[in-house]
Amino acid sequence: MENKNDIKKLVEAFDFAAKKHSKQTRKNIDKTPYINHPIGVANIISSEAGITDVDILVSAVLHDTVEDTNTTFEELEINFGKKIRGIVEECSDDKTLEKDVRKQMQIEKAPFSSYEAKVVKLADKLYNLRDLLKGTPVGWSENRVNEYFIWALQVVAGLKGTNSVLETELDTIFRNKGVF
């Protein structure tokens, strides 16, 4: 991170995301606060991948706000600028589409995403897969978990060449799960 303005922008993103996700929980058995997820994704990017680019970290914190809350892309642009809006837009599914279509679009769009969006997507998949290894989400069958791993492998294949640390971690998970 470069200066006080970067720190201010990141803290504002944490505050914004915390407010937007305040009533949400994860689907795990412990129903952990949803905000743990975007914070965890940003932490993976910073701590494991060694990336301190504030736009990537802010985008990681905000990556699910449009998809999972009443946040709009316009609201993100007003509060965080056009670049952050663009990265989050690349990371967001269009919830008006059927789930299978959204999942296929993630696979198809992955190779054409910006570097910043690819980093966020890699860290997001890594966080989610680690969560799945800890326990099956409420309402998920073992088959659904396995399908998620296979789908995530396909998305990650399109993100290769972005960050070797994150890719190595993901490859290890896929190999250990037997989907590689």
The residues annotated with a catalytic role in the active site are 67-68
CA nearest 18: which of 41, 42, 34, 40?
A: 34
**What value, to the nearest 5°, has the Cα angle with vertex 116 and ends 112 and 121?**
75
